[in-house]
Amino acid sequence: MLTPTLSSAEIRTRSTFLGLMWALSHPGRRQPLPDAVTDPNVALHVIGETLLDLETTFFTPDDRLAYALQQTTARAEMPDMAAYHFYPHVDEKTLALISQAPVGDMLYPDRAATLVLACALNSGLEFRLKGPGIAASTLIRASLPLAFWDLRRRTQRYPLGWDLFLVHNGEVIGIPRTTLIEPVGG
């Protein structure tokens, strides 16, 4: 019996999909991305290549990343309409854009955006995560500004809110909207 041979692009997107799936299944636990995807822009592009298709929409403030994501046939949208948001870095300017990301509504909570954020995972503020997929609690560090976490807290009203992918150095952490996040020591 013959089995189909996967192309290198198919292997990369399959591996990325599995990493993303396990990241959301086990919030706070680092999952590997495919080999050689340590550059944040490349990692965001590979994740976009995996998640986006003709029926999806995306937003990114980065022109080069936007061009690469358009090759997936997904449509670029304004921040308040896009299903997927990609940010190579998060600062005050991008926080204003993130604040516009859809959180869904009570009839259609699935219309909330998924945010893909590049950030350092070994430094920054420390947070305790609790919720489905986490056995008691787990700790993470992420170099995102405190204002981002405050924004997430203000917009999360289950079942509404964003699903997050934090990307750094060939790894991804998933934080679904069901996860409770508390700052450690504050």
CA distances from 32 to 42, 47, 87, 169, 185 (A): 14, 12, 19, 9, 29
Identify each DSSP E strand in 13-70 by its residue range.
31-32, 57-59
Q: Which two tokens stand for residue 49?
A: 């290549």
Name all domains of the chain by residue range, CATH numbers in brackets.
8-183 (3.40.50.11310)
Helix, strand, coil percentages for the chain (3-state, nearest 5): 30, 25, 45
Q: How far is CA 5 from CA 8, 9, 10, 11, 43, in A?
A: 10, 12, 9, 10, 24
Cα angle, residue 94 at apex, residues 21 and 43 outer, rounded to 5°: 35
Is 41 strand, coil or helix? helix
Written as one letter, the residue type at 15 is: S
> What pLDDT, on the 0 to 100 scale, is given for residue 16?
94
Residue 36 has a pLDDT of 60
For 37-66, letters b (16+ CB in 10 Å) and e give beebebbbbbbbbbbbeeebbbbbbbeebe
**pLDDT tens digit at each of 186 positions of the chain:** 788 888 888 889 999 999 999 999 999 999 999 876 667 778 999 999 999 999 999 999 999 999 999 999 999 999 999 999 999 999 999 999 999 999 999 999 999 999 999 999 988 899 999 999 999 999 999 999 999 999 999 999 989 999 999 999 899 999 999 999 999 975
Backbone dihedral angles phi then psi of residue 173, each to the nearest 5 degrees: -115, 130
